[in-house]
Chains A and B, each alone.
Chain A
Amino acid sequence: MIFSLNELVHWLGLTIFEIWINLVSLTIFTILLAMKIDNNYFAGNGGWWIIFSPLFIGDGLNTYFCAIIFIRMQMDGVMKSAILRALWSLTFLLLVFVFKYLLCKKLSGQSSLEYSEVLSPVFILLQLIAVRACQLH
């Protein structure tokens, strides 16, 4: 659309495979969400955790994939770029995970945080993404 896939890869620091995993997990998440809202499936305390599970599984797969890339880059001898890439992936995955975790806790009524606090990891991530956008050329 406004960006090509390669531009997105450069900007967000994600690989195409990670983007695909995120898309698939988001699709399954929205299907479960529709089932919850329409048919009242997954009622009870653990319901929201089941609905969010595709997103957490997607995060886990992405972490595993990033770990493999880090090890392979290290074996190829590109230490500096391997560490920089691993650091960025770790920050990205951690912030997104914390956001999902806090949102899930808030929706299940296990925490009394406000939405501004729940979304704070996303705002931090946005600042980091803005810095990365300035490095684009």
Chain B
Amino acid sequence: MAVLHRALFTWFNLLIFLILLVLRLDLRIQWNWFIVFIPMWLYDNILLIYIIFRMISHCKNGHDHISSLRRKAWYMTAVLTKLSGQGLLCLKLEATQLTLPAKVVLAPLWVLLLTLGCDVFIHLIQHSRY
């Protein structure tokens, strides 16, 4: 996929999600939070398929760059962390009788943010370009 297609796909998903979020927060609709998050589920699942497809084509073409494969595995872990964070958030908002602590809900997000922060910082140091 060209970068333009990927950007427009991301943009469209985000727009639909934000519209649904605003409608739900303003109580114009009483939908389940899992339904409100459908654009995000769709986006993450397509992202997972995209990464798996790229990993398979990487292995099939016989590239022996293990670092590139490791990078794709890290991307997949990041998407899975995001998915679990969203699932916990929906559970917290929907099942109020469960009384999930906010620390548990936000833990996957912290892991994701901290690793992303470290990754960006290493990139910043290695390439010395701001």
Residues in chain A within 8 A of chain B (CB atoms): 1-3, 5, 7, 11, 15-17, 19-20, 23-24, 26-27, 30-31, 33-34, 37-38, 114-116, 119, 122-123, 126, 129-130, 133-134, 136-137
Contact partner, B26, options A17, A114, A130, Cβ 8 Å:
A114
Contact A3 B6 (CB under 8 A): yes
A26 vs B114: C-alpha distance in the bound complex, in angstroms?
10
Known: A27-B110, A30-B109, A115-B22. A16 touches B130 (CB 8 A): yes
Q: Interface of chain A, helix or strand or loop or mixed?
A: helix
- Please give me the residue from chain A that is nearest to B105 by CB atom: A34
Contact A30 B106 (CB under 8 A): yes
A18 vs B25: C-alpha distance in the bound complex, in angstroms?
30
A55 vs B79: C-alpha distance in the bound complex, in angstroms?
24
Residues of B within 8 A of A37 (CB): 102
Contact B79 A1 (CB under 8 A): yes
Known: A1-B79, A30-B106, A126-B11. 19 other contacts (CB 8 A): A1-B75, A3-B3, A3-B7, A7-B7, A15-B130, A16-B120, A16-B123, A16-B127, A19-B120, A23-B117, A31-B106, A31-B110, A34-B103, A37-B102, A116-B26, A122-B18, A126-B18, A136-B4, A137-B3
Shortest beta-carbon contacts, A-B, top 8: A37-B102, A133-B7, A115-B25, A34-B102, A27-B113, A23-B117, A17-B130, A1-B75
Known: A17-B130, A38-B101, A133-B11. A115 touches B18 (CB 8 A): no
Say if the beta carbon of B95 comes within 8 Å of chain A: no
A39 vs B91: C-alpha distance in the bound complex, in angstroms?
20
Residues of A within 8 A of B130 (CB): 15-17
11 A-B pairs, CB-CB below 8 angstroms?
A2-B50, A17-B124, A20-B120, A23-B120, A26-B113, A34-B106, A116-B22, A122-B18, A126-B11, A133-B4, A134-B8
Residues of B within 8 A of A126 (CB): 11, 14-15, 18
B89 → A minimal CB distance (Å): 11
Residue from the set A23, A37, A116, A129 with the largest chain B CB neighbour count within 10 Å: A23
A48 vs B8: C-alpha distance in the bound complex, in angstroms?
34
B75 → A minimal CB distance (Å): 5
Say if the beta carbon of B121 comes within 8 Å of chain A: yes
A25 vs B6: C-alpha distance in the bound complex, in angstroms?
27
Contact A133 B109 (CB under 8 A): no
Residues of A within 8 A of B102 (CB): 33-34, 37-38
